[in-house]
Amino acid sequence: MTEHEPNRVPEATPREMAAVDAVVGPELNGAAPAAAARRMRVQLQRPYRRDLLLPALLALQQAEGWISPGGLAYLAQRLALPLAEAYGVASFYGLLALEPEPPTVLHVCDDVACQTAGAMELCQTLERVLGPAGSAPESSEVGWHRSPCLGRCAEGPAVYVQRLGAAGGGARWDAAQTAEEWLQAVATGMAVTSAVPIRRRPGLPQPLTGRIGRIPPDSLDAYRRHGGYQALRRALALGREGVLREIAAARLVGRGGAGFPTAAKWEAVAKSPEPVRYLVVNADESEPGTFKDRALLEGDPFAIVEGATIAAWVIGAHRVYVFVRGEYPEARRSLEAAIAQARAHGYLGATIMDEPYPLEIEVRSGAGAYICGEETALFNAIEGKRGEPRNKPPFPTVHGLFGKPTVVNNVETIANVPVVLNLGAAAYRDLGSAGGSGTRLFCVSGQVMAPGLVEVPIGTPLKEVVAIAGGLRPGRELRAVLLGGAAGTFVGPEAWDMALDPEVVRARGATLGSGVVVVFDDTADLGAIVRRIARFFREESCGQCVPCRLGTVRQLELVERLEAGRPLGSLEQERALHRDLVQVMRDASICGLGQTAANAVASALALGLVGEGSRGQ
């Protein structure tokens, strides 16, 4: 008979236990612990709160700098969750380390926009000073990793810093300092990022960004003095049906990328027979090149609170979840401060203004996974599961968060809600063009003089938008523009005059997506950019379905072969292979990530941006 040692249960540190307890709360969760049950001779089931898993994992990460076996075991026990499942969830998210890390960890963006802003040079410097990415021993003070886009594209090269025992935050590379000086400043929390630059052109209406940078974002009074909460008042006066009519008449469509009519979504949930409904505000802004939601959340958070309040009231939701990207702690703090003030002044809680309507807004953080921007993956993340998208149908309006009817709106969409109500549907429509109502936010980055956020009427030409961001550098020629981010498409100089109107853009086989405009001039190493996009999907695919999990790997291998000038067989064979990959990913992937993961590479191949001749001057 073989004797086995009893399973060794690793122990949590006091800091880990305190971090978990702070999230889970003193109330027993899951099954009562054995000792208590033994004493009581009965065991009562407690409410099962798996949805606290991700917040508790983030708390563990902050407490000890990694998710240790002991910490995870304690957490799993508190949530009555199988340890292997908790591990499966923890291992899904990029900001959760499963091995010990130094006290300060830098996530250095080497994605498309930051590559044009010196990210590669920064990486080389760090490699020299700290060693290769991900190699730091636990004993060193600072470690670093390469990161996908951090949503700080106008401030690149961007860095996100995780600090032991403290909240994370953005940091900005300062070329004026030595690497050592800069690292010292980062470690002590001195090298903080600035706000998103807003690029304005006098005379253009800016209903979404007008307040940003002009009023203190943490002041409810200032918000009210600048038109805040007029829209909620108007909404309550109009009634739910009235608001729905107004939003429908304004032809407001979602700004997250899919462009679905907002009123239709709201109406489906408002009319559901199911009494429990949710509003989810998607602030998991992770599309490479996108930083608009961060600008809104950091710069005008009350507008999001007000918009979410109106939306929740109309659809009959009493709880709103705002899922904020894990790399945006500043945005989270700003939003939470606004929620607290709104609550203290009767805009949330038991009433919304004068209306007795219980409403809470809860902010949840992501933990480093692009896929969680997909709405059903986002539900799973909130529910404490791996951020794997669900098959649709059923759609969220029927079977959404916690299985209940749910409206998911992007931050920019929610920001448009007060605008519609303040202006009225007609005036709102007039802001835009035939291609759509209202304004749109464009995140202009790359090789332009003044990268930043640009708000323009829908239908403004690309050339104009880039001009507001300072235009090309003197003496440089336009080589290509990446529209819509990694899931978008490259367009060449011939698109310079194209109106940024969803219909027009779609007709040219491109997409506006989340409003990304990354500009590359004739000095850009576009091969490297395309390779980075291919790597992005290889690393951000959730891995659930075969076309995406393996298609993204084969796509990256193909791009690398072409970049190295070593195709398998003929170039035409490689192109045929890519066409097959495009087709299977587009046709057979579960979600939008897989379905669009080959678009940018396909457009780059078509424009000759990969391989021979792709390198700039």
Partner 1 sequence: MNRGVSVAARPVTVTVDGQAVEVPEGSTVREACAKAGVEIPTLCFLENLTPVNVCRVCVVELEGSRALVPSCSRKVEGGMVIHTDTPRVRTSRKMVLELLASSVDLSAAGPEVAEWLAAYGAEPERYGRRAPARTARPDLGEAATVAQPPKVDNALYVRDYSRCILCYKCVEACGEDAQFTFAIAVAGRGFDAHISTEFDVPLPDSACVYCGNCVGVCPTGALMFKSEFDLRQAGAWDPARQTVTPTICPYCGVGCTLELHVQDNRIVKVTSPLDHTVSHGHLCVKGRFGFEFVQDRDPGG
Partner 2 sequence: MFGAGGGTSSYREIEETDLIILWGSNARETHPIFFHHVLKGIGNGARLYVVDPRRTASAEWAHLWLGLDVGTDIALANAVGREIIQAGLVNEDFVRRATTGFERYREAVEPYTLERAETITGVPAEAIRQLAHDYARAERAELCWTLGITEHHNAVDNVFALINLALLTGHVGRWGSGLNPLRGQNNVQGGGDMGALPNKLPGFQDIEEDANARARFEAAWGCRIPPRRGLHVSQMFEAMEAGRFHGLLIIGENPAQSEADAARAVRLLQGLDHLVVQDIFLTRTAELAHVVLPATASWCETEGTVTSSERRVQRVRRALEPPPGARDDLEILAELAKRLGHDWGKPTAQAVWDECRQLSPMHRGMRYDRLEAMGGIQWPCPDEDHPGTPFLHGRLWQDPVEGPLAPFQPVEFEPPLDALDDEFPIRLTTGRRLESYNTGVQTTHYRPPLSKGERIHLSPEDMAALGIREGMLVRVVSRRGAVVVPATADPGLRQGLAFMSFHFPDQVNTNQLTLDRWDPKSGTAEFKATAIRVEPIETAVGAEAMEVRR
Tally of CB atoms within 10 A around 35? 8
DSSP of 85-146: HHHHHHTT-TT--SS---SEEEEEE-SHHHHTTTHHHHHHHHHHHH-STT---TTSSEEEEE
Q: List the one residue from 35, 566, 570, 572 that touches partner 1 (CB under 8 A).
A: 566
Q: What, of partner 2, partner 1, none, does residue 543 touch, CB below 5 to 8 Å by kind? A: partner 1
Residue by residue, DSSP assigns 134-200 as T---TTSSEEEEEES--S-GGGPSEEEEEETTEEEEEEE--TTS-HHHHHHHHHTT-SB--PPPEE-
Residue 275: CB minimum distance to partner 1, A: 18
Do you know the residue count of the chain? Answer: 617
Does 129 engage in binding with partner 1 (CB under 8 A)?
A: no
> Which residue lies nearer to partner 1 by CB, 208 or 556?
556
Among the listed residues 244, 250, 283, 590, the single contact to partner 1 using CB under 8 A: 590
In sign, the C-alpha dihedral spanning 372, 373, 379, 382 is positive
542 binds partner 1 (CB under 8 A): yes
Distance (Å, whole) CA 25 – CA 383: 17
Reduced to 3 states (helix: H, G, I; strand: E, B; else coil), residue 553 is helix
Among 389, 383, 395, 357, smallest CA distance to 269 is for 395
With binding defined as CB under 8 A, does residue 115 bind partner 1? no
Asked if 437 is part of the footprint of partner 1 (rule: CB under 8 A), the reply reads no
CB 417 within 8 A of CB 438: no
Q: Which entry of partner 2, partner 1, none binds 72, CB below 5 to 8 A by partner kind?
A: partner 1
Alpha helices in 512-617 (DSSP H): 526-540, 546-563, 571-588, 592-596, 599-606
Helix (H) or strand (E) holding 379: helix 375-382
CA–CA distance, 365 with 611 (Å, rounded to integer): 39
Of the listed pieces 42-50, 251-259, 276-284, 555-563, which binds partner 1 according to CB under 8 A?
555-563
Collapse the DSSP code of 480 into the 3-class scheme (helix H, G, I; strand E, B; otherwise coil) and give the result. Answer: strand
Beta carbons of 510 and 491 less than 8 angstroms apart:
yes
Provide, rounded to whole angstroms, the least separation between the CB of residue 46 and partner 1: 18
- For position 568 contacting partner 1 by CB under 8 A, the verdict is yes
Whole-number Å distance between alpha carbons of 197 and 195: 6
> Is 83 a residue that touches partner 1 (CB under 8 A)?
yes
Span near partner 1 by CB under 8 A; candidates 69-77, 177-185, 205-213, 251-259: 69-77
Distances (CA, A) of 160 to 56, 297, 328, 332: 20, 17, 9, 15
Q: How far is the CB of 262 from partner 2 (least distance, A)?
A: 36
Mention every residue, 6+ apart, whose C-beta is less than 8 A from residue 614: 525, 526, 527, 530, 563, 608
- Closest CB to partner 1 among residues 209, 595: 595
Of the two residues 34 and 166, which places its CB atom closer to partner 2 in the complex?
A: 34
Query: Is 503 a residue that touches partner 1 (CB under 8 A)?
Result: no
Q: Identify the sign of the CA torsion 420, 424, 425, 426.
A: negative
The end-to-end CA distance of the chain, in Å, is: 72
Smallest distance, partner 2 to C-beta of residue 32, A: 10
* Euclidean distance between CA atoms 191 and 158, whole angstroms: 11
Interacting stretch for partner 1, rule CB under 8 A, among 354-362, 373-381, 568-576, 599-607? Answer: 568-576
35 binds, among partner 1, partner 2, none (CB under 5 to 8 A by kind): partner 2
Identified binder of partner 1 from the candidate list 337, 450, 553, 606, rule CB under 8 A: 553
4 sits near partner 1 (criterion: CB under 8 A): yes
Nearer to partner 2, 1 or 176 (CB): 1
**Cα–Cα dist 594/588, whole Å:** 8
Least distance in Å: CB of 584 to partner 1?
4
258 binds partner 1 (CB under 8 A): no
- Region 356-385 residues binding partner 1, contact defined as CB under 8 A: 369
| CB distance 262 to 247 below 8 Å | yes
Task: Give CA–CA dist 486/552, Å, rounded.
Answer: 13
Region of 105-113, 161-169, 525-533, 561-569 interacting with partner 1 (CB under 8 A): 561-569
- CA pair distance 289, 527, nearest whole angstrom: 17
Site for partner 1 in 156-215 (CB under 8 A): none
Order of strands across the sheet with 158-163? Answer: 142-147, 104-109, 158-163, 166-172
Smallest separation (angstroms) from partner 1 to the CB of 553 = 5
Position among 226, 240, 343, 554 found at the interface with partner 1 (CB under 8 A): 554
Which residues contact partner 2 by CB under 8 A? 1-6, 31, 34-35, 37-45
CA separation for the pair 529, 604 (Å, rounded): 10
Binding of residue 572 to partner 1 (CB under 8 A): no
CB of residue 218 to partner 2, shortest distance in Å: 47
88: which residues sit within 8 A by CB, 6+ positions away? 386
From the list partner 2, partner 1, none, partner contacted by residue 564 (C-beta under 5 to 8 A by kind): partner 1
Contact of residue 19 among partner 1, partner 2, none (CB under 5-8 Å per partner type): none
CA atoms of 304 and 273, how far apart (whole Å) = 27
Q: How far is the CB of 585 from partner 1 (least distance, A)?
A: 9
Tokens of 188: 């002590």
User: 40 or 167, CB closer to partner 2?
Assistant: 40
Considering only residues 392-411, where is the footprint of partner 1 by CB under 8 A? 393
Q: How far is the CB of 92 from partner 2 (least distance, A)?
A: 25
- Quote the CA–CA distance of 279 and 301 in Å, as a whole number: 17
570 sits near partner 1 (criterion: CB under 8 A)? no
Taking the complex as a whole, the smallest distance from the CB of residue 99 to partner 2 amounts, in Å, to 24
- Which residue among 15, 21, 80, 87 contacts partner 1 (CB under 8 A)? 87
The Cα 71–Cα 11 span in angstroms is 7
Number of residues that bind partner 1 (CB under 8 A): 57
Strand, coil or helix: what is 415?
Answer: helix
Q: Which is nearer to partner 2, 4 or 566 (CB)?
A: 4
Query: Smallest gap, in angstroms, from Cβ of residue 4 to partner 2?
Result: 5
Out of 85, 218, 430, 522, the residue judged to bind partner 1 by CB under 8 A: 85
Which CB sits closer to partner 1, 88 or 613? 88
**Residue 40, contacted partner among partner 1, partner 2, none, CB below 5-8 A by kind:** partner 2
Q: Which residues bind partner 1 (CB under 8 A)?
A: 2, 4, 7-8, 69, 72-73, 82-89, 91-92, 98, 369, 386, 391, 393, 538-547, 549-554, 557, 560-561, 564, 566, 568-569, 573, 577, 580-581, 583-584, 586-590, 595
